[in-house]
Structure 1
């Protein structure tokens, strides 16, 4: 027994077919409609509208959890962004470090934004080179009162290193100091403060002062610290005296 024309038409409509040679003037929708909607539309002989494809929800940016102090210090990049009164120094690149060729050579040169202070990073030794910093104050700003610049950089273990570098004009030549940069390495992010006059209000941590004096590489830098002690309070004066012995 053959199916009735109504049954054949409903079935063709349900499965999305059309009689041969019959053009489709509008789109026939199937996706997004329930089975009951499709059966009812097929029985009545009308096309369901084509529904727009669902759009993907915008992806929420990944949130990196903040680590507590002491957690994953080796994998955490320390924050050395310059604050007010500070400026960022260029990072030592592997290519620049290779120019040392095992001898004492300048591998990085930089200057403060106003051009008053020059920073010369030197490298010495083969294999694992050690780095030092020559800080030179340009112009006639350095008089009898010493100036102080604070250097801050990231150590390989992720912690910060701070060094105080005093400058004072000597008998001849520009005001300059020469210090060791302990644990300074290629790619280390570092910043420097603007040079400020030393006075009774100057206040630095005992450990920072002791480490900084121990990093002095020549007598001119140690002499600058002796001049610093003449302008600071009694507490810092005793710390400087103890570190200079």
Structure 2
């Protein structure tokens, strides 16, 4: 069985990382069009750096929860049974990796990486960034930015994501709002290809009506239960 799992901010919320569109979420406290665009970085780099330094600090101080651990267990369990998990996340944190997931596709980039706008060098980066930070590769100052996808930029790894989705036997969305494209369109693509779909979320997403099955509740309870059921079903279906 090949399982494609898409995760969003909801899977990390119980670890203490703020979601974006819920009441009290990041976009209710900060204006994304002032802080999450290439234009904002060009016009007000100090303010953009201050915002992302705060977010980077939050990620460093956060630990994975039971939902992240369950997906790491799903990856290992599927592999042991001859299957495969393609874990695609909209999140820019590293909680999946710290929970034990070995293969994670970050379609919106990674907060704990930095990229130079001058030479394109990308590398792990856990410390603060500023306009005075020099690129370790080319030496230029002022061009180091969070290696995340901002509004107006194209998400990463779209070709690999499309191939994995088309080859899936099951599409699962966990903790997603269903409001951000192209990820919000994955369920429609899966349905069009005849792939079973399942939503695991705190509450119905914007695209909930497109899913054939759903599990609702806190991620730390819903995701481990879903994983247990899936691995049990997969084991029982084998000859």
Considering only CA atoms, is the larger Rg found in Structure 1 or Structure 2? 1
- The structure carrying a bigger helix percent of its residues is 2
- Same fold at TM > 0.5: no
- The structure carrying a bigger strand percent of its residues is 1
**Bin for the TM-score computed over the shorter chain:** under 0.3
Larger RCO: Structure 1 or Structure 2 (Cα < 8 Å, ≥ 6 residues apart)?
Answer: 2
TM-score under structure 1 normalisation?
A: 0.23
